[in-house]
Amino acid sequence: MSGINYSEKIPNNVDLANDRTLQRALEHWQPHFLQWWQGMGPSDFQNSEVYLRTATSVDADGWATYGAVKMPDYRWGIFLADPVAERKIGFGDNMGQPAWQQVPGEFRSTLRRLIVTQGDTEPASVEQQRLLGHTCPSLYDLRNLFQVNVEEGRHLWAMVYLLHAYFGRDGREEAEELLARHSGDADKPRILSTFNEPVSDWLSFFCFTYFTDRDGKYQLKSLAESAFDPLSRTCRFMLTEEAHHMFVGETGIGRVVKRTLEVMKELGTDDPAKIRAAGAVDLPLLQKYLNFWCSSSLDLFGSEVSSNSASNFANGVKGRPDESQYEDHVLRAAQFKLETPKGVEDVPMLNALNEVMRESYLKDCEIGLKRWNRVIERAGHALRLALPSTHFRRSIGAWVDQPVTPQGKLVSREEYDRRLHEWIPSEADRAFVRSLMKRVVEPGKMAGWIAPPERGINNLPVDYEYVKIS
Ligand SMILES: [Fe+2]
Ligand SMILES: [Fe+2]
């Protein structure tokens, strides 16, 4: 085997240098990962120097270093948050017992499936976004795209580490499969459908990082509660990076709103046709994108009633995000009032945990909406952006295929079909957004449909050359 110095080549805090078996497994997987990155990662920018942050420790106030790096040379590392001494299981029927340092045999396939499903989303998003670099609205945004991409790559490493370190041969096979499935592939698609949707314009990218990465945040938060301690520690550290991905989404949409309001002021109109003619995104169009990506991301939490979520919780495999904020951690007696098309039903709380998680996710989604709406209000406009009803355009669960409007009103199938493109982007809307996607790569310059950010990255100015294209 090649004499790779792992502590140098792969930053880590799992003592890789002293684990020969794990090293060998990763040595075998690493070239496959790089091949995947070259073939399925960002198209065309592999020789450009990008100003990236790299995780180099789990130190709360100095976990990352910044510097110009070519993406294939990025140091994808393996980091687990520091162990909590004598950590106990925090929920479910085994609450209070010691957390698991190894995988219990009876939960092996469940844990493997959870890790594979999480792991699958990480490279999927890189694949979905691989062409966006060609139409970046600025070098600042191009850098943020690549930052998100390399970190999703690192999240893949994080899951592959768990598969290699704790699941033996089937773990190694799953690690290979994570590179063999591809987003949107007819024969071998990614596991979850949202991760097979193309992200072919930057408005979609900002919505994706706002809604879909936030689903990631909630999945990671619930896995961070897991009794399987290595999974918990891995996810806790991934959340540190995830915050930036949602920052990219929230500020990206915020900058679109800001720019649109400027154009509305210049033109003295809120007529969508005139705003589009001026090369900006009218707010009703933005609302359609929010409806599309929010409803698509809501499906990721699974069916409202789920026996899997019940047993995962009862067994300690997967908790609720921020489990400690709840009072009842066992839930054997609790009930949940679930809205269904047939009326409100009482279901055991244990079976309704996907819905509980979806509700806390939506609360988190509201934060950005409030911010954007404040800016719209200050500019003197009556329109307010809103999240769609959780019953709108659902592909799974109690509301699957129900003709419900984004406002939550059940309408006839005929009306729903006729009005659908008032609510989600039509082909013409998408074509218009695509027509805005022109590459801007002069340092400090922005495309006409988006305002500049308030500040640059890591205290650098906005007009810093964040990507040296070559
Ligand atoms: Fe991720
Ligand atoms: Fe992410």
Å from CA of 62 to ligand 2 middle: 20
Q: Distance, CA 153 to ligand 1 centroid (Å)? A: 8
**Cα 27 to ligand 2 centroid, rounded to whole Å:** 25
* Phi, psi angle pair for 41, to nearest 5°: -80, -170
Which residue segment(s) compose the domain that 208 sits in? 6-468
Number of helical (H) and strand (E) elements in the chain, helices listed first: 14, 5
pLDDT by 10-residue block (mean), the chain, 470 residues: 55 89 89 96 95 88 89 93 96 98 97 98 97 98 98 98 96 98 97 92 98 97 98 96 96 98 97 98 98 97 96 98 96 96 96 97 98 98 97 95 97 98 98 98 98 97 96
Q: In this predicted structure, what is the pLDDT of residue 1?
A: 36
Distance, CA 346 to ligand 1 centroid (Å)? 35
Residue 337 lies in a domain: yes
Q: What is the pLDDT of residues 296-336, one digit of tens each?
A: 999 999 999 999 999 999 999 999 999 999 999 999 999 99
Structure tokens that stand for 446 in this block: 């922005």
Q: Is 385 buried (19+), middle (13-18) or exposed (0-12) by CB count in 10 A?
A: middle
Distance 41 CA to ligand 2 centre (A): 15
Judge whether 97 and 89 are in contact, CB under 8 Å: yes
φ, ψ of residue 126 to 5 degrees: the values are: -60, -40
242 CA from centroid of ligand 1 (Å): 6
CATH code for the domain in which residue 309 is found: 1.10.620.20
- In 10 A of CB 343, how many CB atoms? 7
State the distance from the centre of ligand 2 to the C-alpha of 317, rounded, in angstroms: 22
Q: Report if residue 40 sits inside a domain.
A: yes
Helix (H) or strand (E) holding 119: helix 108-128
Q: Would you call 463 exposed, middle or buried from its count of C-beta atoms within 10 A (0-12, 13-18, 19+)? A: middle
In a domain, 1, yes or no: no
Task: Indicate the number of domains in the chain.
Answer: 1
